[in-house]
């Protein structure tokens, strides 16, 4: 029930759908700008070819004595125009398309975040894991290839081939049709082959990277034991092997791309030669004039610079697909049922034989608690107190096959669908001090709609942080977290306590509330907090002292 | 932000790595040059063909020789480019391998404690992703920076032969391009740095919210966080676009020069052919030479355009190289750690002796935690260290293991420095690898036979966990031992110790946070282990203390103990 549903849409299509949904117009403009650039580049060469052939033929005729008029200023103006439109087109194309990519990635980030918000809280344990987080960032970064490399360049290429074929058709429909047909069919055939091949290699490559990462981390975590035993070098051999695999996979991928470049280069060269022969033949049979023949050849020649980048761009297919595939289940909107929950009056719990909690079936942990009562749970560190707290908060659900377990709210077992409603009724202080990177004000008012500053100062006074907050550079609006003021462990703990005080909750669940706070201060704060929570249900978990 | 000397260290590292790959890289450049020549032949043939048919009015059939030449040159050119990439890629592969080996060598030299000062995740990123990011530098940028000079020169030479004025024009435009690009590029670089910081900040914000999803959910702050994530992305976009407007000027400059040069050459050739210009070499121009020069003009600029595309490869490689060079240049705190494994394991029948003379310990030379300590232990004896946390129990174990140099005094195992002998160290949190039971045992006990493993597991009461599994010892531990209790993991780690006896065994709190069952197994094994080696244990457990032949009780030194 908690597993995401199997994918019904292919990952690339899923993310492309998101792009089309919001950015269709901008995508079209981007395509038009790209086409303008390519057409200008081709036009510049084609018109230049026309001009020099026309002048050469006319020049010879004039020397031979005939009187022929040739306007060389208008084509010259055209050439200057194309030179300018190519420069301007390229500049705005790049600018516009980067703007588009930033919008697209912003959209992806939002989609991904709201997808993660939809995940049941029991599945969120990963998010604490830095490995998982770094993979998430890498995957998100890889998705920016989607528009810039996988979508726009092939569309531009197809568009310019079609335009060129259309242009040729003005002079010879047969030549235009054959050129367009051959180019598109061979292009599509070859690039679908390339994307297919790189999909497998990229997957293999990404898997090798992950494996090497895990091995490396293992190797470093084992240093204390490996170094003492003089087994460091021996353990590195497997790592070296795995790193070698990465290199080989990467080489394979690059070689595929290079092969594609080889094919594109030969195909384009053959196209130039083919069109040249056809145009020369048409000239000799008086179908084309000389300048037109050279113009068409040079237009095809000008297509080269667009085509030569395609293999490298489309070679990103596999990597992008892999990232898209991994992010899709996280980003998909999940329709998890949400259920309401009665007002908490009575809480009871029973737990035995949990692998992380020291309690057997004979010494099962069980209690019942009413509003206004306080429960103190003690145990050595490592005895599983935090696991118990997480289970009470609905953040973990024990495996019912191993662990006999019950959590009853007013005598009724709590269901997973009620977790969200349960969180509205409880205030849970877990062992990690969860300070988000934001201002002190934002941290204290997390999830609250309207709070008066007066209340915040009251809460800060209760945890002895008012003086500290007053001397902060921007008071309540000072930045905390990684990039802001560094908090000591004790200060962070007290900010978390103050935040809990501001939240209206039925059950207060405190896991090692005074971690990092010295005994005198803890005593003093506890004397103040306890009366505040008199009319609530209070569970405190602390290690034995 | 980046110190100049640091960047120089990065440059030096890149230079050394390319020097090792010189033969492959120069071969790649040579192949690239040959490909350029084939390209010139290809367009020469096309211009010849056009001239013959259009001007000389020869029939197409007579041109089979020149058509053949064109096809041949095309194929040769494509194959040469492919070969160029092959060697450049090989050079990149070997350069990255060499760099990884340097990093791994460094890893073997620094002490385990120094390793623990960096998060393993970021160290792994350096070894894997950062080195991987250098691929473009060796495979693309380095050969291209030579080709971007050589290919245009060859083309200019050929153009010069037919029309020195056009060649002069190309040669004048070409050096202007790098000049302008440098001017615009320098502005863009500082922007890029700022842009990089902003990007980091945006990514940091997003990851921060993802990391705290549970808290956001506990406080019902989801929708506010989503709005915030979207707003941040929008701000970032606006900021970046402002700077990109300038940064993209450099590519516009390149585009401008390419276009203008082609246009100017085309118009010049056109006017010359028409007879409108008659001075200098203009009178000699034919459709052949005109078309040939026109076809070569875009090819003249193409290598420069490629180079500018690969420029970010250089920036990425330099950033990574700077980081890695800084890391590699760090001096080691421990001097006598062997870079390789010493294969000879001490036979455990010999009697070993551990002697400390006036040993003082601590993490800093001027902040001694405990000492002077004097003790002498021989095989069969057990020393138990107790004391409050922070008093130096683990510090002493680290010193005995050779991870930390003594603040003063001396420490000898069998009259040799401690790092000369392989010993066993069991930290508080056992090291569990992702693999099977036998993988987890053999990783620290490579010589152990399957029977010995079975026996050790029975001794520690772990046998029932695998006896009903299909693959026995080869069955997987769940991912990083999840599903096993802390006590079971601790017993698994201890099983390795008894499988590969060493003259000295150091154990850090082996019975803390164990359930009663695990504790009994561990205590029984410790009692047996004691006869085979010198045992040093840090512990508060009275039953462990009962094993002790000697005891050390640490008290706090100094006044910095805070409560």
Task: Give the distance between the most distant pair of CA atoms in chain A.
Answer: 118
Taking CA–CA distances from A427, the nearest residue in chain B reads B218
Burial class (CB in 10 A: 0-12, 13-18, 19+), B132: buried
The pLDDT-based confidence of A381 (bands split at 50, 70, 90) is: low
Burial class (CB in 10 A: 0-12, 13-18, 19+), B255: buried
Contact A127, A347 (CB under 8 A): no
The pLDDT-based confidence of B474 (bands split at 50, 70, 90) is: confident
Contacts of A45 in chain B (CB under 8 A): 262, 294, 298
Reply yes or no on whether the pLDDT at A278 is more than 90: yes
pLDDT (tens digit per residue) in B353-366:
899 999 999 887 77
Taking the C-alpha atoms of residue A297 and residue A286, their distance in angstroms, rounded to an integer, is: 17
The pLDDT-based confidence of B183 (bands split at 50, 70, 90) is: low
SS3 track for B304-323? HHHHHHHHHHHHHHHHHHHH
Among A332, A357, A380, the domain boundary falls at A332
Q: Is B183 on the interface with A (CB under 8 A)?
A: no
Kindly state whether residue A2 falls inside one of the protein's structural domains.
no
Length of chain A: 545
Task: Give the distance between the most distant pair of CA atoms in chain B.
Answer: 111
The pLDDT-based confidence of B97 (bands split at 50, 70, 90) is: very high
Kindly state whether residue A337 falls inside one of the protein's structural domains.
no
Instruction: Answer yes or no: do A382 and A319 share one domain.
Output: no
**Residue A313 vs residues A183, A303, A497, B251: alpha-carbon distances, Å:** 18, 16, 52, 18
Q: Is A436 on the interface with B (CB under 8 A)?
A: yes
Q: Is A416 on the interface with B (CB under 8 A)?
A: no
Cβ pair A224:B427 closer than 8 A = yes
* Cα radius of gyration (chain A): 34
Q: Is B365 on the interface with A (CB under 8 A)?
A: no
Length of chain B: 563
Please name the helix (run of DSSP H) or strand (run of DSSP E) that holds residue B178, with its range, or none. helix B164-211
Specify the pLDDT at position B562.
31
pLDDT (tens digit per residue) in B380-430:
999 999 887 778 888 899 999 988 888 888 899 988 888 888 999 999 888
Sign of dihedral through CA atoms A182, A186, A189, A192?
negative
Contact B510, B538 (CB under 8 A): no
Specify the pLDDT at position B57.
92
The pLDDT-based confidence of A509 (bands split at 50, 70, 90) is: very high
Contact A462, A483 (CB under 8 A): no
Specify the pLDDT at position A210.
87
Contacts of B138 in chain A (CB under 8 A): none
Kindly state whether residue A211 falls inside one of the protein's structural domains.
yes
Instruction: Answer yes or no: do A325 and A441 share one domain.
Output: no
Contact B500, B445 (CB under 8 A): yes
Instruction: Answer yes or no: do A362 and A308 share one domain.
Output: no
Q: Three-class SS of residue B93?
A: helix
Q: Of the candidates B26, B43, B31, B299, which has an alpha carbon nearest to the alpha carbon of residue B174?
A: B299
Q: Of the candidates B221, B515, B168, which has an alpha carbon nearest to the alpha carbon of residue A449?
A: B221
Instruction: Answer yes or no: do A365 and A321 share one domain.
Output: no
CATH class in words for B1-329: mainly alpha
Please, how many CA atoms are within 13 Å of residue A433, restricted to the half-sphere of its CB? 25
Kindly state whether residue A369 falls inside one of the protein's structural domains.
yes
Q: Where in chain B is the domain with CATH 3.40.50.300?
A: 353-553
Q: Is A489 on the interface with B (CB under 8 A)?
A: no
- Greater model confidence, B420 or B288: B288
Taking the C-alpha atoms of residue A169 and residue A160, their distance in angstroms, rounded to an integer, is: 14
pLDDT (tens digit per residue) in B99-120:
999 999 999 988 888 888 888 8
- Greater model confidence, A503 or B391: A503
Contacts of A106 in chain B (CB under 8 A): 230, 233-234, 236-237
Contacts of B207 in chain A (CB under 8 A): 133, 136-137
Which of A57, A102, A305 is nearest residue B240 as measured by Cβ atoms?
A102
Specify the pLDDT at position B86.
97
Instruction: Answer yes or no: do A381 and A297 share one domain.
Output: no
Specify the pLDDT at position B456.
92
Q: Of the candidates A184, A196, A193, which has an alpha carbon nearest to the alpha carbon of residue A154?
A: A184
Taking the C-alpha atoms of residue A129 and residue B320, their distance in angstroms, rounded to an integer, is: 24
SS3 track for B29-40? HHHHHHHHHHHH
Q: What is the CATH number of the domain that holds A162?
A: 1.20.1560.10
Instruction: Answer yes or no: do A366 and A310 share one domain.
Output: no
What secondary structure letter does DSSP report for A286?
Answer: T
Specify the pLDDT at position B307.
85
pLDDT (tens digit per residue) in B40-66:
999 999 999 999 999 999 999 899 999
Reply yes or no on whether the pLDDT at B561 is more than 50: no
Taking the C-alpha atoms of residue A24 and residue A26, their distance in angstroms, rounded to an integer, is: 6
Taking the C-alpha atoms of residue B219 and residue B200, their distance in angstroms, rounded to an integer, is: 27
Reply yes or no on whether the pLDDT at A199 is more than 70: yes
Q: Which of residues 184-203 of A touch B (CB under 8 A)?
A: none
Reply yes or no on whether the pLDDT at B333 is more than 70: no
Using left for φ > 0, alpha for ψ between -120 and 50, and beta otherwise, residue B199 falls in alpha
Q: Which of residues 293-332 of B touch A (CB under 8 A)?
A: 294-295, 298, 302, 305
Q: Three-class SS of residue B359?
A: strand
Taking the C-alpha atoms of residue B400 and residue B405, their distance in angstroms, rounded to an integer, is: 9
> Residues near B178 by Cβ (< 8 Å), separated by ≥ 6?
B304
Q: Of the candidates B437, B219, B377, B206, which has an alpha carbon nearest to the alpha carbon of residue A448?
A: B219
Taking the C-alpha atoms of residue B499 and residue B453, their distance in angstroms, rounded to an integer, is: 7
Cβ pair B93:A124 closer than 8 A = no
The residue-averaged pLDDT of A1-6 equals 43
The number of C-beta contacts closer than 8 angstroms across A and B is 399
Instruction: Answer yes or no: do A77 and A45 share one domain.
Output: yes
Contact B435, B477 (CB under 8 A): yes
Specify the pLDDT at position A179.
95
CATH level 3 topology of B353-553: Rossmann fold (3.40.50)
Among A332, A362, A378, the domain boundary falls at A332
Contacts of B81 in chain A (CB under 8 A): 261-262, 265
Number of domains in chain A: 2
- First-to-last alpha carbon distance for chain A, in angstroms, is 42
The pLDDT-based confidence of A56 (bands split at 50, 70, 90) is: very high
Q: Of the candidates B61, B229, B220, B140, which has an alpha carbon nearest to the alpha carbon of residue A428?
A: B220
Contact A500, A429 (CB under 8 A): yes
Question: Chain-centre distance of CA A437, in angstroms?
Answer: 20
Q: Is A350 on the interface with B (CB under 8 A)?
A: no
Taking the C-alpha atoms of residue A493 and residue B96, their distance in angstroms, rounded to an integer, is: 45
Q: Of the candidates A466, A496, A471, which has an alpha carbon nearest to the alpha carbon of residue A481?
A: A496
The beta strands (E) that lie in A274-433 are given as: 346-351, 365-370, 374-379, 405-409, 412-413, 426-429
Instruction: Answer yes or no: do A324 and A351 share one domain.
Output: no
Kindly state whether residue A263 falls inside one of the protein's structural domains.
yes
Specify the pLDDT at position A380.
73
Kindly state whether residue A3 falls inside one of the protein's structural domains.
no
The residue-averaged pLDDT of A231-247 equals 92
Q: Is A233 on the interface with B (CB under 8 A)?
A: yes
The residue-averaged pLDDT of A534-538 equals 90
- Greater model confidence, A265 or B345: A265
Q: For residue B364, give how far its alpha carbon lies from the nearest alpha carbon of chain A (Å).
A: 19
Burial class (CB in 10 A: 0-12, 13-18, 19+), A74: exposed
Question: Chain-centre distance of CA B409, in angstroms?
Answer: 39
The pLDDT-based confidence of A403 (bands split at 50, 70, 90) is: confident
Taking the C-alpha atoms of residue A68 and residue A88, their distance in angstroms, rounded to an integer, is: 36
Reply yes or no on whether the pLDDT at A241 is more than 70: yes
Contacts of B117 in chain A (CB under 8 A): none
Backbone angles phi, psi at A241, to 5 degrees: -60, -45
Q: Which of A209-218, B4-13, B130-139 has the lowest mean pLDDT?
A: B4-13
The secondary structure of chain B in percent helix, strand, coil, rounded to multiples of 5, reads 65, 10, 25
> Residues near A48 by Cβ (< 8 Å), separated by ≥ 6?
A79, A298, B262, B263, B265, B266, B270, B294
Taking the C-alpha atoms of residue B460 and residue B456, their distance in angstroms, rounded to an integer, is: 6
Q: Where in chain B is the domain with CATH 1.20.1560.10?
A: 1-329
Cβ pair A87:B226 closer than 8 A = no
Taking the C-alpha atoms of residue B78 and residue B99, their distance in angstroms, rounded to an integer, is: 32
The pLDDT-based confidence of A4 (bands split at 50, 70, 90) is: very low
pLDDT (tens digit per residue) in A316-366:
888 899 999 989 988 887 777 788 888 888 999 988 888 778 777 777 888
Q: Which of A60-64, B84-88, B198-202, B414-418 has the lowest mean pLDDT?
A: B198-202
Specify the pLDDT at position B560.
37
**Residue B307 vs residues B35, B314, B463: alpha-carbon distances, Å:** 17, 10, 63
| Percent of chain B's residues with pLDDT above 90 | 42
Reply yes or no on whether the pLDDT at A286 is more than 70: yes
> Residues near A79 by Cβ (< 8 Å), separated by ≥ 6?
A44, A47, A48, A51, B263, B266, B267
Kindly state whether residue A1 falls inside one of the protein's structural domains.
no
Backbone angles phi, psi at A376, to 5 degrees: -110, 125
Neighbours of B1 (CB within 10 A): 7
Backbone angles phi, psi at B114, to 5 degrees: -65, -35
Instruction: Answer yes or no: do A323 and A352 share one domain.
Output: no
Which of B74, B214, B290 is nearest residue A52 as measured by Cβ atoms?
B290
Mean pLDDT for chain A? 88
Taking the C-alpha atoms of residue B538 and residue B550, their distance in angstroms, rounded to an integer, is: 12
Among A275, A309, A332, the domain boundary falls at A332
Cβ pair B248:A94 closer than 8 A = yes
Cβ pair B205:A382 closer than 8 A = no
Instruction: Answer yes or no: do A395 and A513 share one domain.
Output: yes
Specify the pLDDT at position A64.
86
- Kindly provide the ipTM of the predicted complex, given to two decimals: 0.87
CA B267-B273-B274 angle, 5° bins: 90
pLDDT (tens digit per residue) in B33-42:
999 999 999 9
The beta strands (E) that lie in B346-401 are given as: 353-361, 370-378, 382-386
Neighbours of A167 (CB within 10 A): 18
Reply yes or no on whether the pLDDT at B185 is more than 70: no
Q: For residue B307, give how far its alpha carbon lies from the nearest alpha carbon of chain A (Å).
A: 13
Instruction: Answer yes or no: do A367 and A302 share one domain.
Output: no
Residue A110: domain span: 11-332
Kindly state whether residue A338 falls inside one of the protein's structural domains.
no
Q: Of the candidates B405, B296, B372, B377, which has an alpha carbon nearest to the alpha carbon of residue B557?
A: B372
Instruction: Answer yes or no: do A300 and A424 share one domain.
Output: no
The beta strands (E) that lie in A328-480 are given as: 346-351, 365-370, 374-379, 405-409, 412-413, 426-429
Contacts of A73 in chain B (CB under 8 A): none
Taking the C-alpha atoms of residue B24 and residue B96, their distance in angstroms, rounded to an integer, is: 14
Specify the pLDDT at position A396.
86
**Residue B532 vs residues A100, A507, B456, B527: alpha-carbon distances, Å:** 70, 55, 15, 10
Calculate helix-pair angle for B22-54, B142-162, nearest 10 degrees.
30
């Amino acid at each position: 029930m908690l597993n995401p549903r199997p994918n019904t849409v292919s990952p690339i299509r899923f993310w492309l759908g998101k792009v089309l949904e919001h950015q269709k117009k901008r995508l079209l403009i981007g395509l038009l700008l790209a086409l303008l650039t390519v057409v200008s580049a081709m036009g510049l060469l084609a018109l230049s070819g026309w001009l020099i052939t026309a002048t050469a033929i006319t020049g010879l005729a004039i020397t031979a004595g005939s009187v022929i008029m040739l306007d060389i200023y208008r084509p010259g103006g055209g050439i200057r125009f194309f030179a300018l439109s190519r420069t301007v087109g390229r500049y705005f194309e790049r600018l516009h398309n980067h703007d588009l990519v930033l919008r697209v990635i912003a959209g992806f980030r939002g989609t991904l975040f709201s997808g993660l918000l939809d995940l049941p809280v029991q599945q969120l344990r990963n998010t604490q894991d830095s490995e998982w987080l770094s993979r998430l960032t890498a995957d998100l970064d890889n998705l920016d290839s989607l528009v810039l490399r996988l979508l726009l360049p092939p569309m531009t290429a197809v568009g310019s081939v079609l335009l060129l074929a259309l242009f040729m058709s003005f002079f010879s429909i047969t030549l235009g049709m054959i050129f367009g047909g051959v180019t598109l069919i061979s292009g599509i055939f070859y690039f679908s082959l390339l994307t297919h091949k790189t999909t497998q290699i990229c997957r293999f490559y990404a898997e090798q990277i992950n494996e090497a990462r895990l091995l490396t981390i293992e190797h470093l975590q084992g240093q204390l034991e490996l170094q003492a035993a003089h087994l460091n070098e021996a353990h590195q051999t497997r790592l070296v092997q795995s790193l070698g695999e990465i290199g080989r996979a990467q080489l394979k991928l690059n070689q595929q791309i290079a092969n594609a470049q080889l094919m594109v280069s030969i195909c384009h060269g053959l196209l130039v030669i083919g069109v040249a022969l056809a145009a020369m033949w048409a000239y000799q049979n008086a179908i084309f004039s000389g300048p037109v023949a050279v113009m068409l050849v040079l237009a095809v020649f000008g297509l080269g610079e667009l085509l030569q980048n395609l293999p490298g761009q489309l070679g990103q297919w596999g990597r992008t697909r892999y990232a898209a595939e991994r992010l899709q289940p996280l980003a998909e909107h999940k329709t998890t049922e949400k259920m309401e929950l009665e007002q908490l009056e009575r809480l009871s719990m029973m737990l035995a034989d949990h692998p992380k909690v020291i309690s057997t079936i004979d010494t099962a942990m069980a209690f019942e608690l009413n509003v206004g009562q306080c429960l103190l749970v003690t145990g050595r560190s490592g005895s599983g107190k935090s696991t118990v707290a997480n289970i009470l908060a609905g953040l973990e659900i024990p495996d019912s096959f191993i662990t006999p377990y019950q959590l009853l709210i007013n005598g009724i077992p709590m269901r997973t669908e009620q977790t969200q409603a349960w969180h509205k009724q409880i205030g849970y202080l877990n062992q990690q001090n969860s300070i988000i990177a934001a201002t002190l004000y934002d941290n204290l008012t997390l999830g609250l709609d309207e709070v008066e500053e007066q209340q915040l100062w009251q809460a800060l006074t209760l945890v002895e942080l008012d003086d500290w907050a007053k001397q902060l550079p921007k008071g309540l609006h000072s930045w905390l977290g990684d990039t802001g003021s560094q908090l000591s462990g004790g200060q962070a703990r007290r900010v978390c306590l103050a935040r809990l005080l501001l939240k209206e909750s039925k059950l207060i669940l405190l896991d090692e509330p005074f971690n990092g706070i010295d005994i005198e201060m803890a005593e003093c704060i506890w004397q103040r907090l306890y009366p505040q929570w008199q009319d609530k249900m209070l569970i405190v978990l602390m290690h034995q002292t | 932000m980046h110190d100049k000397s640091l960047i120089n260290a990065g440059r030096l590292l890149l230079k050394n790595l390319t020097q090792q790959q010189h033969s492959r890289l120069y071969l790649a450049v040579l192949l690239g040059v040959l490909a350029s020549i084939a390209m010139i032949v290809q367009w020469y043939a096309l211009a010849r063909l056009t001239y013959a048919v259009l001007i000389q009015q020869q029939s197409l059939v007579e041109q089979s020789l020149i058509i053949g030449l064109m096809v041949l040159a095309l194929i040769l050119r494509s194959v040469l480019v492919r070969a160029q990439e092959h060697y450049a890629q090989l050079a990149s592969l070997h350069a990255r391998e060499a760099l990884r080996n340097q990093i791994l060598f460094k890893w073997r030299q620094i002490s385990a404690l120094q390793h623990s000062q960096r998060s393993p995740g970021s160290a792994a990123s350096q070894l894997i992703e950062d080195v991987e990011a250098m691929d473009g530098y060796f495979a693309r940028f380095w050969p291209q920076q030579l080709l971007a000079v050589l290919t245009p020169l060859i083309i200019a030479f050929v153009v010069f032969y037919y029309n020195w004025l056009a060649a002069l024009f190309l040669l004048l435009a070409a050096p202007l391009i790098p000049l302008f690009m440098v001017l615009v590029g320098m502005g863009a670089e500082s922007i890029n740095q700022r842009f990089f910081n902003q990007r980091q900040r945006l990514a940091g914000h997003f990851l921060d919210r993802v990391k705290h999803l549970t808290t956001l959910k506990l406080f019902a702050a989801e929708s506010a966080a989503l709005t915030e994530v979207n707003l941040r992305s929008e701000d970032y976009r606006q900021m970046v676009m402002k700077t990109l407007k300038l940064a993209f000027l450099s590519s516009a400059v390149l585009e401008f020069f390419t276009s203008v040069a082609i246009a100017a050459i085309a118009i010049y050739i056109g006017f010359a052919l028409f007879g409108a210009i008659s001075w200098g070499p203009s009178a000699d121009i034919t459709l052949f030479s005109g078309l040939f020069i026109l076809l070569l003009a875009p090819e003249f600029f193409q290598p420069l355009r490629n180079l500018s595309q690969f420029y970010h490869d250089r920036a990425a490689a330099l950033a990574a190289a700077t980081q890695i060079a800084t890391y590699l240049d760090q001096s080691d705190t421990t001097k006598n750690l062997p870079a390789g494994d010493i294969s000879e394991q001490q036979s455990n029948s010999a009697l070993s002796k551990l002697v400390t003379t006036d040993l003082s310990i601590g993490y800093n030379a001027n902040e001694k935690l405990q000492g002077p300590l004097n003790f002498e232990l021989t095989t069969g004896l057990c020393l138990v260290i107790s004391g409050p946390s922070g008093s130096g129990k683990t510090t002493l174990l680290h010193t005995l293991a050779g991870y930390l140099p003594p603040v003063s005094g001396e420490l000898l195992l069998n009259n040799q420095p401690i790092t000369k002998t392989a010993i066993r160290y069991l930290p508080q949190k056992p090291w569990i690898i992702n693999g099977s039971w036998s993988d987890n045992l053999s990783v620290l006990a490579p010589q152990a036979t399957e029977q010995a493993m079975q026996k050790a597991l029975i001794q520690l009461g772990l046998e029932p966990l695998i006896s009903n599994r299909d693959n026995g010892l080869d069955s997987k531990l769940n991912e990083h031992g999840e599903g096993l209790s802390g006590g079971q993991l601790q017993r698994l780690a201890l099983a390795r110790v008894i499988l590969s006896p060493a003259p000295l065994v150091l154990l850090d709190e082996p019975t803390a946070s164990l359930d009663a069952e695990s504790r009994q197994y561990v205590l029984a094994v410790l009692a047996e282990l004691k006869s085979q080696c010198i045992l040093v244990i840090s512990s508060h457990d009275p039953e462990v203390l009962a094993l002790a032949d000697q005891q050390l009780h640490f008290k706090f030194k100094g006044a910095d103990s805070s409560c």
